[in-house]
Structure 1
Amino acid sequence: MLLAYIDETSNTRCYRTVGLVVRADDVRPFAEQLDAVVAGAPLKSMVRARISIYRQAFDVTAQHAEGIWVEGLDRKSFRDRYAGRHDEHVTTLLHLLEKLNRYANRRGEDLIVIADEHRTARSAQAALRQARRERVWGYRGKPQRIADTVYFVSSAGSRLVQAADLVAFLYQRLADGVDRNERAAAANKALWSALGNVPVHDRLWEP
């Protein structure tokens, strides 16, 4: 059994949905090690202290994650082409689920999907149910490996959704060159290097 933990990230140019895939046997030790990282965090919010905590969290993530999937879109192109007919979050989520289902199918594993709570949760769940019966916009094929539905939870209650959030946040900063300060950019690249052994599958769709 595989589990995918999902969160979204965006700026004015791009909207992305990010999935962190973990084997079921790794979920408990992954969460426990993240708990230990948070428990050891200093109360002071100094920059160096925060970077140290992030680095530890990424080190733990690298030990347990099977892969990272990123599905993004260009927001202006999407708005211009679809003019409110489709939601960017549901769209990127369906694109991501398609890729995750394909990966799970290749592995011969079923997949449980847990995502950060979002206002479009019911729409996304309905689209996934529909995709099991017929072709829907934004999803090719059938989600035969995805177990039941997408479970939307508060990130405050899930260490692994928090890990997906960290990955999503840092990925977008690096991909879009957000940091103009050279020291900040270098620090973020160093943090990302902790995930060097984790395969990253990313796409930015420009409709």
Structure 2
Amino acid sequence: MRLCFVDESCNGDFSGFGAIVADALQTAQLTRRMNEIVAELDEGYGIGRATEVHAYLMFHGKEQWSEVPVRVRIRAFEQVIDAVCSAGVDVLLRAVHCERLRERQSRSRYREHHSPDQVAFQHLLQRIDEIALRDRTHALVIADERTDRERHRDRFAVYQLHGTPGSYLSTRLDRLLDTVHFAPSHHSRMLQIADVVAFVWRRAETVVETDARQARTMSRLIEQIRSRAYKPGIWP
């Protein structure tokens, strides 16, 4: 069985999700490595061993990360992405251009106008289903907690009963088990990894780095992430 850990990252016209698809052994391996990374930071800077690896806070040096030097925070990003690549997991990156989606739905006179996050999440679920089929197994989806989780659960149930909208990649998500489960990211190292992956991808797609060293680092990180990505894309 595969476990898929999902987190969202949005900025302006970009609405997207990053996900890690792992088996039980890979999940245990990555959780252990994340705990080691945080323990090393705690020894050096006293951030606390239970501190969440939250990409935005870590990148900008806020809250528990405020006393950690920039070079060390950059190294933490590198360690997380290195761990993802070493574990051999699948990475999923699916997003929507919000304005282009609205224009397409209006131009084509869609009967229903779906929100960007709903469309992006649907595309993500379709790829998880493909991976499970490829690996001849099933998958359970675990996402970071959000206020509209019931809406996503309801849509998931509709997809499994009637199929995903549209003819392209239409599926009833037969390989996905139960429902979408939502969990607090501060209790899940795997959701924290998904957060880091989603943050780096979103930033690479939406921000022009003005600092040369930062640009090189972000370029290296996103190339590593893309090397593990299964059919990444931004629609339309």
When normalised by structure 1's length, the TM-score is 0.90
> In terms of Rg, which structure is larger?
2
Higher mean C-alpha deviation, range 186-195 or range 151-160: 186-195
* C-alpha distance in structure 2 between counterparts of 1:133 and 1:194, whole Å: 37
Q: 1:141 to 1:151 in 2, by over 3 A?
A: same
1:108 is aligned, of 136, 139, 160, to 136
Q: Structure 1, unaligned stretches of length 5 or more? A: none
Q: How many residues were matched structurally?
A: 206
Q: Residue 45 of structure 1 aligns to a residue in which SS? A: coil
Partner of 2:218: 188
2:161 is aligned, of 117, 133, 139, to 133
* C-alpha distance in structure 2 between counterparts of 1:164 and 1:178, whole Å: 22
Structure (1/2) with the larger strand percentage:
1
Contact 2:93 2:229 in 1 (8 A): no
* C-alpha distance in structure 1 between counterparts of 2:235 and 2:17, whole Å: 12
| 2:188 matches 1:158 | yes
Contact 1:19 1:68 in 2 (8 A): yes
Q: Residue 4 of structure 1 aligns to a residue in which SS? A: strand
Q: 1:137 to 1:52 in 2, by over 3 A?
A: same
2:205 is aligned, of 170, 175, 182, to 175
1:137-188 CA-to-partner distances (Å, cap 9, x unmatched) read 3772111111101111111110010001101111111223432322211121
Q: 1:74 to 1:193 in 2, by over 3 A?
A: closer
Q: Structure 2, unaligned stretches of length 5 or more? A: 46-66, 107-111
Contact 1:90 1:120 in 2 (8 A): no
Partner of 1:144: 174
Identity among equivalent positions (%) equals 24
When normalised by structure 2's length, the TM-score is 0.80
Partner of 2:149: 121
* C-alpha distance in structure 2 between counterparts of 1:124 and 1:57, whole Å: 28
Q: Residue 132 of structure 1 aligns to a residue in which SS? A: helix
Cα displacement (A) at 1:45: 1.8
Contact 1:173 1:179 in 2 (8 A): no
